[in-house]
Amino acid sequence: MIGIMKSPHGILLVIFSFAAFAITHLVEAQNQEGFITLDCGLPLNESPYVEPETEIQFLSDENFIQGGKMGRIPGNLESENLKPYSTLRYFPDRIRNCYDIRVEVGRNYLIRAMFFYGNFDGLNVSPEFDMYIGPNKWKTIDLQKEPSGSGKEIIHISRSNSLQVCLVKTGSTTPMISTLELRPLANDTYLAISGSLKLNFHMYLSNSTALLRYPKDVYDRTWVPLFQPDNWTHISTANVSNKNHYDPPQAVLKGAAIPKNLDGPLTITWRLENPDDQIYLYRHFAEIQDIEANDTREFDCVLNGETITINAINPKYLEIETMLTTIPKECNGGICRMQLIKTQRSTLPPLLNGFEVYSVLQLPQLQTNETEGDPCVPRQFLWDGLNCSISDISVPPKIISLYLSSSGLSGTIVSDFQNLNHLEILDLSNNSLSGMVPEFLASMKSLLVINLNGNNLSGSIPKSLLNREREGLKLYVLGNKHLCISSTCIDTKLKKKFPVTIVAPIASIAAIVVMIILLFVLRKKMSSRSKSEPWIKTKRRRFTYPEVLVITKNLQQPLGEGGFGIVYHGNLNGSEQVAVKLLSQTSAQGYKEFKAEVELLLRVHHINLVSLVGYCDEKDHFALIYEYMSNGDLHQNLAGKHVGSVLDCGTRLNIAIESALGLEYLHIGCKPAMVHRDFKSTNILLDEEFKAKIADFGLSRSFHVGGDQSRVSTVVAGTLGYLDPEYYLTSELSEKSDIYSFGILLLEIITNQRVIDQTRKKPNIAEWVTYVIKKGDTSKIMDPKLQGNYEPRSVWRALEVAMSCANPSSAKRPNMSQVIIKHKECLESENARISTNQDTNSRHSSVELRVTATFDSDMYPKAR
């Protein structure tokens, strides 16, 4: 048994070894069409150049990446033959940096990245970081374990015309890269059932010492010689015909090894880097001896005791034949043992010219369609203000919401927004956008919400957009003083196409995604600037206590009372109604919570969050002044304590979706992300049209998405019944704590039951719903006030969403984006029912919910 290496790193180190580039120079360089060869860190004005040993042309990487800094290894390590490794690009600033390379869709590519630290920064600390192909992790690069340098190679079929190779910072050290190379392959070669192929090695059986690379190998694979003189005999010939697309070099084919024991097997053993890897083997055979007529060379290939050839191998004379495993194989314990064993009828020993081994690397998550530096995935690197639908990793993510409120945007609204074919929410509020409201917004059929509040828009709203609003589109245009919102403004002038310029002060951007990048950079700068300033500097929102007394007419009309204090009705400037919340001296919440709420509301803007008009911070008097929500809170409306009719099922589902959108914004749109921590029905306020907005942010906390900071340890706070049991037990807060509370709220909306009711057999509402479902008496779940006027399927789907949110294990809860997608399906079913039955009160007066799912009682939190 002959071992060819102790680990696969051994091969990569040999490949990377500086002494190993003794490649025989060919006079005629072969065609490099399709090659992309980047010398990372090379200044743009120094490229291109031709590396003398391989005759490969290297380019600067500057046109393929935004960001990073150029580094150079010390002069004593530089030489002309090692020029590609003299420079490097390193990334001290951002967590994730991506090369964006244009490729051919569906083409098979060899992708190779090389890393040589060389103590370029004088710190003598070899870095460790992760490398990604698009949204999927490829490999951890640990140059502490590979101090001589590291090379990683993969064969990957591109599913887009844009390929991203990303370096991700995972610790205190700085990611860096020396070279990045792409080589197009024949599309009928190196095909895996699933996933991509990670190189283990290319070997050719020869007593030579030379590495074989381009131009000897047309695909620029690197072949390492392997020979065991004590066990093998080397045979060779002058030339071999190569007629298949794998096209190994002539130097591989014209030499071979046979066992010295002519009756024994030719055995090769190697160890996998990861014992659980599945592998593909590619073996290249050519008969290079002129054998006698009465001789036969025939043998089987056996891997770890399993014959992996259907028929015995009989190599053709001076002609290449490539045998490959079409189904990936496993090696027990990561030890692979391949044997070529001659058959009983064979008179000659087996031979092998060369072979290659690849491991399967699953890269399941598709990247977002047509993007540059994927904005949606991986989820932990989701771009600021963006939300994407990532429900199925086999389907490309879709950008579904864009929050650019208060981002300092100016100019007119760019037409490239319509390229976001799945966009549902577009929030451009509180900017300085000018010009007319563009008509193309009406043609974006996926849009559900457009918020243009607080800009400098003028003219009239297009008739087509008003028609969409009547069909259910939510259009917000308040605060544009030159914009006419009356239907009498509509005229034929609106049919003109509006000239469109970019919304950010950046010249000529062709693609919407590039624009989004620039806007988000601007937004981050503004955000970081605001963090460095004292919060109290926003004087224009500050009121004195005497002004508060004037606004509330000496606290004449109380609206309600909460943990913070009493809320009073008020009038600002005699016209604008407001709600004024005064901090009580006996309040369980104090100045810390007051300050936290002001800080949050001064920097967030969303149509489903109650907006802050101003505040009072004067000695012993603290007050928050909000927009007035005339229909009170959701709890009052469900209980029948607020004047008006019973909330119908469609309105309830709308309220749930709008509340979910507000939470989604806190979790994704805010930077840093926020957890509300006290999400409940009394904190869902309703305006005159019963549109829902989340209020009371005194207990909210920020957290950082991704890494070890996705959870924050805090003192437990919240309301009994809505409180996440996992958070209660561990004190570890995450956005999933809000999702639990949302599940409880949704059960409250559906059932109109108290969240905790000691008179029930099961006091906790989630436990009670499970109990009722198991008994089969599902009609008792629905709020009797609805009198059966609802679509059973939509309600059942909403119930399933609620129970998944209320799972006691946070890992099993959906995220807010998934909740919204499911909930919209419920609303669509309910709206379809209403549309079908416009002239009748109800056709479902006594329909019982049909159980379509099984709930485990152990899934749900117990009452405390």
Instruction: Return binding residues.
Output: 581
Contact 247/185 with Cβ under 8 angstroms? no
Residue 495 DSSP one-character state: G
d(CA 127, CA 193): 34
Cis upstream peptide for 249 (omega within 30°): no
> What amino acid occupies position 263?
D
User: Tokens standing for 446?
Assistant: 């996926």
290 is catalytic: no
d(CA 473, CA 489): 20
> What amino acid occupies position 7?
S
d(CA 144, CA 160): 34
Contact 711/732 with Cβ under 8 angstroms? yes
Please list, in sequence order, all residues whose beta carbon lies within 8 angstroms of the beta carbon of residue 312, skipping any fewer than 6 positions away.
298, 299, 300, 343
| Candidate list 416, 678, 696, 738, residue with the active-site label | 678
d(CA 706, CA 714): 18
User: Tokens standing for 683?
Assistant: 């904190």
d(CA 465, CA 450): 10
The total number of residues shown for the chain amounts to: 864
> Crossing angle of helices 735-751/816-836, nearest 10°?
20
Annotation: binding site for ATP: 581
Residue 820 DSSP one-character state: H
Q: How many CA atoms lie within 13 A of 488 on its CB side?
A: 0
Closest by alpha carbon to 820, among 632, 600, 639, 668?
Answer: 668
Per the listing, tokens 């083409």 go with 107
Q: What is the dihedral sign for C-alpha 356, 361, 364, 365?
A: negative
List the end-to-end C-alpha distance of the chain, in Å, as a whole number. Answer: 66
d(CA 289, CA 235): 8
For 206-263, where are the E strands, in sequence order? Answer: 224-226, 232-236, 255-259
SS3 state of residue 302: strand
User: Tokens standing for 849?
Assistant: 């919910």
Q: Compute the radius of gyration of the chain from its Cα atoms.
A: 34
> Crossing angle of helices 649-664/735-751, nearest 10°?
170
d(CA 443, CA 528): 36
d(CA 709, CA 178): 31
Catalytic residues: 678
